[in-house]
Chains A and B, each alone.
Chain A
Amino acid sequence: MQIDALLLATVTAVAAGLVGCYAVMRRMALASDALSHVALPGIGIALVAGLHPMLGALVALFLGALLVWTLEEQTRIPTDTIIGVVFSAALAAGSMMMSSGDELVSVLFGRTGKITLIEAAFTVLAAGRVISFMLRERHRLVVSLVSPDMARTSGINVRRLNLGYMLMFALTIGLGLRNLGVLLMGSLIIIPAATARRLATHLSQMLWLAAVIAATTTALGFLLAAHLHREPGPVIVSLAALVFALTFLRRRA
């Protein structure tokens, strides 16, 4: 097992937990889960062009985030349908670009491998950026979550805030693709946050619970996967889902 991969995955998980809190509260869990699919054609094009797959994934994710952001501004378009169609189509198109079934599986579900120094540095910097954005903007995000109109009259630029959030969301997905893949990374954003939402009684509690649950299930998932000789992605998401299921045993006070 690689310690460096575990540490980087845990830092990414903290970012994912925080980002997820607003996604589950804004009722955009499904849209954000599907957004990760759009990375696949980006990876496909990057591989064909001989570029780093992460670069292709990030470009595709930013474009996908712009699409979600634009759709959110429109009230007269069936957003769910468009997101469902576009992101599923992206998954299908991207799958056809993969050179082998083995490659496809590793892109879909994640696979550990050698991490270059540049990748490690990028991951730490980008995750740090996401975490600081989420903590710094948390009050603005709360106000615009409760009422975008009240946010506007409080002097918040809601459009810019939403754009910033969507870009942070896309960046977080990009960071998690290596370990969790195109199909599972959305889950690491949504499931710990959904768990925290069930347990927390106030906002800051939800934020730190989501971060802790995401980081813990990721670290444990890595260790367990090494022990079971499995890829970590599916183990991490299964663990996170198990924790979520356990919250149903606890009655809300």
Chain B
Amino acid sequence: MSTILDVRNLSVRFGQSVILKDLSFELAAGTSLAIIGPNGAGKTVLFRALIGAIPFEGTVRWGPDARLGYVPQKLDIERDVPITGFDFLQARVRVGRVDIAAASSAARAVGLSIDAWKTPIGELSGGQFQRLLVAFALLGDPTVLLLDEPTAGVDEPGQEQLNELVHRLQHERGLTVLLISHELTVVSRYANQVLCLGRGMAHMGPPNAVLTPEALREIYGNPVAFHSHDH
């Protein structure tokens, strides 16, 4: 497998505080990487450095085939902003000079309802809004999806559907997926690599090596209730 992402000695500082320090890891194409860690560990900051949205030290090298699709953490859109799901997808189509037909096939691929097409995005349900963001990301024909807690603010059945959706997309399109999540059960089910950030440390490895009670205690600081289910 070719390397799609190579991160060397990545450090991010905001003023005096060091958010990420000397982080190095490598990802093979097609990997499903889960990023876990307590709040404030720098998970979102890592994503924003990876997409080049914030200044950092060290190197972030994406492979030549890497096209990024980014789904940010729950966005706060006011209810009365008159931008519909269609307006938003159409904007991506126009920006990328993609065929407009791609918008409806992306909407179908993520199971976006027809109503979402005409509804202001601030009024969409959590699940529909996240699907819209995923559809938007797919319009760039990505080879890598970065998802920042895609199921936050989504009801229970919706979370399950979103996780399945991402898993299915990854399988069908051979995507590399980077997923920030708090749901350790989801992580152990879908990820084949886990990057655990926290307390200035980072561990990376397959889920059964990283998601051990000792490692989690070290990162989270206190015992975390987590039981691996093997259904």
A146 at the interface (CB under 8 A from B): yes
Closest to B81 in A: A25
B residues near A (Cβ < 8 Å) are: 14-15, 48, 51-53, 68-72, 75, 77-78, 80-84, 86-88, 90-92, 94-96, 118, 120-121, 133, 136-137, 140, 146
Bound form: Cα–Cα A159–B48 in Å: 15
**A204 CA / B140 CA spacing, docked (Å):** 23
Q: Is A100 an interface residue (CB 8 A)?
A: no
Interface of A toward B, CB cutoff 8 Å: 25, 27, 76, 138-140, 142-143, 145-150, 152-156, 197-198, 200-206, 252
Task: Take A149-B48, A152-B51, A152-B53 as given contacts and tell me if A142 and B82 are in contact as well, using a CB distance cutoff of 8 Å.
Answer: no
With A143-B91, A146-B88, A203-B82 known as contacts, the answer to whether A154 contacts B96 (CB < 8 A) is yes
Minimum CB distance partner of A150 in chain B: B70
Complex: A252 Cα to B79 Cα, angstroms: 12
Cross-chain contact A202 with B140 (CB below 8 angstroms): no
10 contacts between A and B (CB under 8 A): A139-B94, A139-B95, A148-B53, A149-B48, A149-B72, A153-B51, A153-B68, A153-B137, A154-B140, A201-B84
- The answer on a CB contact under 8 Å between A147 and B91 is no
The 4 closest A-B pairs by CB, nearest first: A139-B91, A139-B94, A200-B82, A153-B70
Contacting residue for A150 out of B86, B87, B120, B136, CB 8 A: B136
Set A76, A143, A149, A252: member contacting B95, Cβ < 8 A:
A143
A142 touches B48 (CB 8 A): no
In contact, B14 and A142 (Cβ under 8 angstroms): no
Bound-complex Cα distance A202 to B91 (A): 13
